[in-house]
Amino acid sequence: MMTTEMVAAGNGKAEAKPSGVDKLRASAAEASQVRALSTHPDVVALRVESVRTQVDRCMWVGIVLGLAFTMVNVQAFAAQGAPVGSLPWVAAWLLDPMVSLVLIAVLRAEQITARYQVSDHTKWIGRTKRFAFAATYAMNTWASFGHGDVAGVVLHSVPPVLVFCAAETAPVLRDRLTEAVLRAERAAALADPQKAAERLDSPTEALTVPEPTPVAQHAAQPPELAATATTRPDVVKVPRKTAAKPRKKPAAKTGRKLLADYVADALAAVEPGTAPADVTPAWARQATGCSAGLSAKVATAVRESLASNDTNLTTNTHTDEITGEFERKAA
């Protein structure tokens, strides 16, 4: 009997040892969790913000160094050989900071507007930047052009041109980084709208997306079965160019506007004949006044609602055509 117990104990130890399949299963589960977390919108936004900070710091260091390099030549251009320490010589040092501070103010404002993808509706911003760069470039290279010094022209042309390129590229990079965060939000909303709705402030307001009616099922049926299906009470015809408006839930006691309210406002603003592809986050912000982070969810809900209505309309139209053909053959 002791031998049997030892064998049983040995078998128990062998069963307790994880096999290769169990290890692979555990590794697959861990990899799935890591992948889900790495593609989570909040994690993506955190990584993008870290990259944005690095880009901003490098850009600003390069711009400030470039403007500081041009300061000496601009002062010499403004002084025009005045004695060192004289009033014109001292006043000449104010010219370059005057131009540089205006330029930095414009670039700082563009840093914020590009962060939130606010479009530029005026031409004076571009004109101010170009005038500042042109003035700095002309004063920085004037002496080299006058003496015919090609090497000096090249040397003093690099910093202003580099500052100009950095100032024009930085807003585009910030806009692209913001778009990366919004695309991660849209991808998460399309993958699981319910979880995307739960990420809002109020967990009781869930985003309800109607399920589309399958079209292939009616198309594959013979005319006799299709004609019978038209008499079913669950087949409801949706009028053309009519968007289903969900019932607007009462606002919470806190007075905050929730996702369902923004979706209802957006559906009410949809014009007849609007295609789902025309509903963009920018359109949602303009129609409802929601924030940039919430506009992607609102646009996704409206697109899916419009796509569902188009699917129901296509199904009913196809069923009516089959019914009419069957009645003509029966007559």
Residue 90 pLDDT greater than 90, yes or no = yes
Band (215; pLDDT cuts 50, 70, 90) = very low
| Rounded Cα–Cα distance for residues 89 and 181 (Å) | 51
Residues 6 or more apart in contact with residue 3 via CB below 8 angstroms: none
State residue 151's pLDDT score: 93
Residue with tokens 């979880």: 195
Instruction: Give residue 246's pLDDT band: very low, low, confident or very high (50, 70, 90).
Output: low
In which band, very low, low, confident or very high, does the pLDDT at 253 lie, cut at 50, 70 and 90? very low
Q: Note whether 206 and 305 are within 8 A (CB).
A: no
pLDDT tens, residue by residue, 155-186: 999 999 999 999 999 988 988 998 888 888 88
**Alpha helices per DSSP H over the chain:** 2-16, 20-38, 41-79, 87-92, 95-115, 124-147, 150-191, 193-198, 216-219, 223-229, 259-269, 281-288, 292-330
Residue 230 pLDDT: 43
Rounded to 5°, angle at Cα 9 from 4 and 10: 95
pLDDT score of 291: 75
Query: Residue 44: which pLDDT band, with cuts at 50, 70 and 90?
Result: confident
Give dist(CA 240, CA 314) in Å, integer: 10
Instruction: Tell me the C-alpha distance between 187 and 297, whole Å.
Output: 10
**Phi-psi bin for 24: left (phi > 0), alpha (psi -120 to 50), beta?**
alpha
pLDDT digits (tens, 9 = 90+) for 123-167: 888 899 899 999 999 999 998 998 899 999 999 999 999 999 999
- Look at residue 319 and tell me whether its pLDDT is greater than 80: no
| Average pLDDT of the residues in 194-221 | 45
Residue 265's identity, in one-letter code, is D
Q: Can you give the pLDDT at residue 67? A: 92
pLDDT at residue number 105 = 93
- Asked whether residue 101 carries a pLDDT value surpassing 90, the answer given is yes
Can you give the three-state secondary structure of 272-288, one letter per residue? CCCCHHHCCHHHHHHHH
In sequence order, the 6+-apart residues with CB closer than 8 A to the CB of 241 are: 272, 273
Look at the pTM and tell me if it is higher than 0.85.
Answer: no
pLDDT band at 289 (very low <50, low <70, confident <90, very high): confident
Taking the domains of the chain in order of start, what are their residue ranges?
41-191, 216-330
Q: Long-range CB contacts (< 8 A, 24+ apart) of 263-266? A: 263/207, 263/298, 263/301, 263/302, 263/305, 266/298, 266/299, 266/301, 266/302
Please tell me the distance from the alpha carbon of residue 96 to that of residue 139, in angstroms, as a whole number: 9
Q: How far is the C-alpha of 98 from the C-alpha of 150, rounded, in Å?
A: 28
- 3-class DSSP assignment, residue 148: coil
